[in-house]
A and B are shown apart, each in its own frame.
Chain A
Amino acid sequence: MTMHFLLLFSRQGKLRLQKWFTPIPEREKKKIVRDMTTMVLGRKPRSCNFLHWKDLKIVYKKYASLYFCCGLDAEENELLALEVLHRYVELLDKYFGNVCELDIIFNFEKAYFILDEFLLGGEVQETSKQVVSRSIEASDMLQEVSERPCSR
């Protein structure tokens, strides 16, 4: 699949989560985030979910008030990317239970942990929802046991 980055941002253009699968200098990242938010938010409703930006394919989808947006190599299949985004949403939904934007804002590290179990280095790591949630639960258990002050 080779995703280069995955961004979650709100309708107002506020970044909610960013994952960079290839190391990119900080300044470049900021530029990409800015370009993505303006480009994607500037799209008219009912237009298609794909964009071209430089030599990348941008695939995005809006879930409620949150935009999920990822950058792929030009030869990648955008439909597959949509499936990947959707699967991530499903995983978040399963973990948080009817996930909403606030869940991701307040537990943003959890959102990352889930993502890390699903994708690795931009590739799909695990296609089974059960396996992903099981490993997240196991890691959380480990964390609960070890101590509490840091967690809620």
Chain B
Amino acid sequence: MALKIVKGSIDRMFDKNLQDLVRGIRNHKEDEAKYISTCIDEIKQELKQDNIAVKANAVCKLTYLQMLGYDVSWAAFNIVEVMSSSKFTYKRIGYLAASQCFHESTDVIMLTTNQIRKDLSSPNQYDTGVALTGLSCFVTPDLARDLANDIMTLMSHTKPYIRKKAVLIMYKVFLKYPESLRPAFPRLKEKLEDPDPGVQSAAVNVICELARRNPKNYLSLAPLFFKLMTSSTNNWVLIKIIKLFGALTPLEPRLGKKLIEPLTNLIHSVLSLFIVKYLGLLAMSKILKTHPKSVQSHKDLILQCLDDKDESIRLRALDLLYGMVSKKNLMEIVKKLMLHVDKAEGTTYRDELLTKIIDICSQRAYNCLWYISILVELTRLEGTRHGHLIASQMLDVAIRVKAIRAFAVAQMATLLDNAHLLTGNTQRNGICEVLYAAAWICGEFSEHLEEPMATLEAMLRPKVATLPGHIQAVYVQNAAKLFATVLRGQEGAPADSTVAQETSQLLIDRLPLFVQSSNLEVQERASCILQLVKYIQKLQQKDVEVAEEVTALFAGELNPVAPKAQKKVPVPEGLDLDVWINEPPSGSESEDEGRKSKGKAVFAKDESRHTKPRYTEVDEKELAKRREVRKAEQANNPFYIKASPSSQKVRRHSVSKPNPSPSFSLRLWMPMSDQYVKLEEERRERNKADKKKKKDKKKREKGEKGRRRRGDSGPESEEDITPAHMVDIVTEEMPENALPSDDDDKDPNDPHKALNIDLDNCPLMDYQVVVSVIFENKCDSFIKSMEFNVLDSLNSKLQRPDGAGPHDGLIVPFQLPPGISNEARFIFSVQNIVMPQKLKGTLTFIVKTDDSSTHEKLDFKLHFTCTSYLITTPCYSDAYSKLLESGDLKGCSLKLEGVNQPFHHLLARICFHHHFSVVERIDSCASMYSRSIQGHHMCLLVKTADQTVSIDAKCDEPGLLGNVLDEIKLTFSQC
């Protein structure tokens, strides 16, 4: 009987399996919490039983409750029990529960190591399978360390089912236990060529993940992936590989060329998923930057993509085409694009197409006739928003290129004649903007019109009054210009004067319509011109020839003023721009830097300035330089580049003749040359040096003015701006042992950092330089949320954490109470160390005062001198002489005069400031040595004789040597 009761109760408990629980919860919507708490009590009872089946059932139900948000951590040990069951059914449930409930801080995980190891080596592949699956969810650093070897063995298991799981889980193991990467890598690499596609794709997955984080360590695998890409038919794998190549190509430019072919094939292939196509185009656009030629040859294919159903793909292809346009293929590509414009569906895409066409042409069109006709053709587009863009391009070309004006005017006249087509049905139609350009061009260049009378009539049609106000205004104004031209033609001909009078009458008839316009400008112009014409008619009736005088109203040409025009204005004779109009008050901050050095001098000194002829000479030189600098600045200024009429001042009767010649090309944009940049830098430096000089000026330095430069790595504080709160940025770049490693703990939480392991000892592509910056809070308020950002140059880049964009700033990991300073380190990767570098940067921060906080910004510059790439390296004299004998080094020399310091001081200076070490010293002669972070040898032979120091230097990189010598010279010119 008792047995029966027990058995019955067991049966009942068995009855309540997962399904019952779920059903029960659904049936107890009203008192769910109460129902579940009774269930949990039952489960606790079940867990106490010895029967593993009962326990497993209980654990299964717990897993469900866990999902509903109930805490089941108390059952962790029971879960382990179920995991250890020898039966697959229970084991499976146990591992499932563990993978759902365990996390790194679950302490029972420690107990599982042996059980898992046993399961991993089970003869049943499904036992191993569930163990691996479970482990992937709750692997801890300890488990990873203890089991790494077992999992590695499984990577070569006979069953592909196990192999692929083992390969995938290795990634999790690497993250938890980075040391395992190096030993496991060869086997992982092997799996890329596994006969089973599943294992292969798993290996591709893992390596792609690894490579995405630290691409340079995986460059050597490129050929293997290349092979896979051409052979694999699995789209999932292909996507991964293409993404991987996206990460690798920036590091190895040669890859780009090779990739083109297979990528094209992929785009071609029938089986391609649209995603693959998309990614292929994306990858091509990346390759385009480095290998324009190789992409060029696939133009037709890319053009084909413009027909794709998918808009994203079309836009990608368009982007790509935009980058490919060259002088040669311009017309062809634009022609194709024009065809597409007609077919294109969807206004956004069409607008995009249109802007791209105009963009392409405006930058590269050499044939202006053709360009105008393209623009006219574009006006046929309906519903585009870019009428304004087309209009401004029309004006631009017509104004600048004299030779095509006749053609342009003819085209514009046709446009005006067909204006009704453009204004069409919708008033909001943006394309009517082109009428603005058309009217202006026809009016301004009316002498080219074949039938000015017809155009005049077209411009005065009543329909014009429906156009937007600003266009009407242009119509009215240019009707007047046309009128002048017409008059001249009519009076010149020996016809009777009534024709001319009729013309005036036409205007008098039509203009009142515009006088009534609601737009003020239209009204004003119309009434002004109406009165004028009435007066002209009066004169005409008296048989007075008026044409000359009317034309005079609009005489002269509107010229585009080139950005450089102002500078080309000759200085009138007798005007000396360098002479003060008013003598500046001495010592004022606004002083011109060339003069200020003596400005604050004692009274008596004032005279000496005027009596010194040499001084003004230097001055002029500087001025010339500054002029250059200004040029550079203007070339750099975006507002000077855009030569569209809107931003460019169009002035009547311009003083000089700048350069409106027909040859004036459409390409105004000139890339700023490096020289300008350098000049600019020099100017700033001089600027600063002068400022500094001013403070600690010594009289005897007067003679050295020309050489004033500053190059030490000292304070690079605010130079251009004076922020409300002073934060002095002291940059102490690159301590001697600039480490090519990143052993900093910038982001200790990022597990991927630890995986940056050089797997093949392949040489680093670029060098890392650590810059430590000292931030000092000089104001009285609390400073926080500092963000440090530097504008990367091609050569030097700030290393940002994974996932950060190339323009994101780095957060300075501390806050600054008033008067406190702290140091932060930033890592830069530098490719070329031959040239000194200056990087512009910004520090943004929040200044917190008691009642408010403001967001402030501070600009600064980081000066990477060539010296800072040198590492003090000792060298023995025999090695030194061997080096010199080898003949690999190129020489250069330097003479310093007026150095009156002891020789050993001089050597110490070179050692300290420029990271050299003395190899040998004999009397007043010494040999010195240093090495760059890229392993260039640098040898100096320093001699001194009565205040003159001569330095003979040799190095295997002459550029670097020259720059270092310059810097040495600078050091001594400053002492």
Contacts and interface: CB of A to CB of B under 8 A. Distances in A.
A23 B169 contact: no
Given A106-B22, A109-B96, A139-B126, A23 B138 contact: yes
Given A23-B138, A83-B275, A123-B202, A150 B57 contact: yes
Chain A residues touching B, majority SS? mixed
B537 interface: no
A93 interface: no
A35 interface: no
A24 B165 CA distance: 22
A27 to B, nearest CB: 10
B-side interface mostly: helix
A21 B133 CA distance: 10
Contacts of B169: 120-121
Interface residues of B, number: 65
Nearest to B68: A15
B932 interface: no
Contacts of A39: none
A151 B140 CA distance: 32
Contacts of A149: 14, 53, 57
B209 A2 contact: yes
A124 B96 contact: no
B88 A123 contact: no
A108 B63 CA distance: 10
Given A15-B67, A25-B105, A150 B212 contact: no
B165 A120 contact: yes
Interface string A74-87: 11010110010000
A131 B560 CA distance: 71
A146 B18 contact: no
B234 interface: yes
A18 B100 CA distance: 8
A143 B64 CA distance: 20
B39 to A, nearest CB: 16
A78 B803 CA distance: 15
B73 interface: yes
Contacts of A94: none
Given A79-B275, A127-B236, A131-B198, A74 B803 contact: yes
Interface string B122-157: 001010011011001111100000000000000000
Given A77-B275, A123-B206, A109 B63 contact: yes
B239 A77 contact: yes
B88 A139 contact: yes
The size bracket of the interface on A is: 35 or more
Interface string A97-136: 0000000011011001100100011011111100100010
A21 B136 contact: yes
Contacts of A125: 164-165, 168, 198, 202
Contact of A123 (B89, B205, B239): B205
A80 B17 contact: no
A79 to B, nearest CB: 5
B741 interface: no
Contact of A23 (B56, B137, B206): B137
Contact of B93 (A55, A109, A123, A124): A109
B245 to A, nearest CB: 14
B19 A128 contact: no
A147 B237 CA distance: 39
Given A77-B275, A80-B239, A20 B137 contact: yes
A76 to B, nearest CB: 9
B103 A26 contact: yes
A64 interface: no
Interface in A1-40: 1-2, 15-18, 20-21, 23-26, 30
Contacts of A26: 71, 73, 103
Contacts of B73: 26
Contacts of A108: 18, 22, 64, 67
A80 B275 contact: yes
Given A25-B103, A113-B96, A125-B164, A146 B89 contact: yes
B627 interface: no
Nearest to B73: A26
A142 interface: yes
B60 A150 contact: yes
A135 B129 contact: yes
Contacts of A123: 168, 171, 202, 205-206, 209
Interface string B769-809: 00000000000000000000000000000000001000000
B248 to A, nearest CB: 15
Contacts of B93: 109, 150
Contacts of A138: 126
Contacts of B205: 1, 123-124
Contacts of B19: 106, 152
Nearest to A20: B137
A121 B171 contact: yes
A21 B275 CA distance: 25
B745 to A, nearest CB: 20
Contacts of A124: 201, 205, 236
Taking each of A17, A79, A121, A138, which has the highest tally of chain B beta carbons within 10 Å of its own beta carbon?
A121
Contacts of B139: 23
A138 B18 CA distance: 22
B89 A147 contact: yes
Contact of B53 (A2, A25, A75, A150): A150
B56 A127 contact: no
B198 A128 contact: yes
B233 to A, nearest CB: 11
B88 A152 contact: no
A75 B197 contact: no
Nearest to A127: B236
User: Closest 3 CB pairs between A and B?
Assistant: A121-B136, A23-B103, A116-B133
17 contacts: A15-B68, A21-B137, A23-B140, A108-B22, A109-B60, A109-B93, A113-B96, A121-B168, A125-B164, A125-B168, A125-B198, A127-B234, A131-B198, A135-B161, A147-B53, A147-B89, A150-B17
Given A109-B18, A126-B164, 17 more contacts: A15-B69, A20-B100, A25-B103, A26-B73, A26-B103, A75-B803, A77-B243, A108-B64, A109-B93, A112-B96, A113-B96, A120-B132, A123-B171, A124-B201, A146-B87, A149-B14, A151-B17
Interface of A: 1-2, 15-18, 20-21, 23-26, 30, 55, 73-75, 77, 79-80, 83, 105-106, 108-109, 112-113, 116, 120-121, 123-128, 131, 135, 138-139, 142-143, 146-147, 149-152
Interface of B: 14, 17-19, 22-23, 53, 56-57, 60, 63-64, 67-69, 71, 73, 87-90, 92-93, 96, 99-100, 102-105, 124, 126, 129-130, 132-133, 136-140, 161, 164-165, 168-169, 171-172, 197-198, 201-202, 205-206, 209, 212, 234, 236-237, 239, 243, 275, 278-279, 803
